Amino acid sequence: MLSGPSTCSRAALLLVLGWLAPAFAENGPAPAAPRWQDFHSEEGRFRVELPGAPRVERSAHRTAMGSVTEVSFRVAWAHQEVAVVYEDIPAAAAWLMPAGVILGRAAASLVEDASGREIESRESKWRGYPAWELRYLLPGSPALESQVRLVLVEARLYLVAARWPQDQGVPAEVARFRASFEVEAK
């Protein structure tokens, strides 16, 4: 995303490599329907509806512009997964680069790091904030579709992401999850 190592490459690796292994590892009976609950992260300054308690992971990595701490919240069920990931963009990068450049590079990094095939990638606005809408396919069988909304709120980058088998079409749970995401004022 930024010159030198990608600030979003760690996010991409977590979203791509670590996400779905548990969800697709089981061949037993389909799990029960998810039990939706409101989730609030005070530190992350967001609220979202999730289909269960999230697994929370925190990691730090260095970039050319400074250290970045990434926090992810994800829930997997019935061959689907949703996640909210956030990281604070280093001050130098936020000051030097326009929001569209930061978001575009982050989106491109997600697809590239996943060896994915882009379906749609475009700059947008989300509730007045600079945003980027991204859809891409992941290699493998079954083919997985990933839909990510990247939102830049001041110097914080949010990734609101969902994955599902492509042959299912967009599950209703994904729409519910995406519609419920809210950023809270500082």
pLDDT tens per residue across span 143-154? 899 999 999 999
Query: What residues does 65 pair with on adjacent strands?
Result: none
Q: In degrees rounded to 5, what are phi and psi of residue 105?
A: -70, -40
> Is the pLDDT higher at 159 or at 35?
159
Question: Average pLDDT in the 178-183 region?
Answer: 97
- pTM of the predicted model as reported, rounded to 2 decimal places: 0.82
Question: Average pLDDT in the 163-182 region?
Answer: 92
Residue 37 identity (one-letter amino acid): Q
- Extract the runs of DSSP E, i.e. beta strands, from 52-128: 55-63, 66-77, 80-88, 117-126
Q: Is domain 9-23+35-183 given the CATH code 3.40.30.10 in the classification?
A: no
Q: Look at phi and psi of residue 78 and say left if phi exceeds 0, alpha if psi is from -120 to 50, else beta.
A: left
pLDDT tens per residue across span 66-90? 788 999 999 998 889 999 999 999 8
Q: How far apart are CA 77 and CA 75, in angstroms?
A: 7
Give the residue from 83, 127, 130 showing the smallest Cα distance to 106. Answer: 130
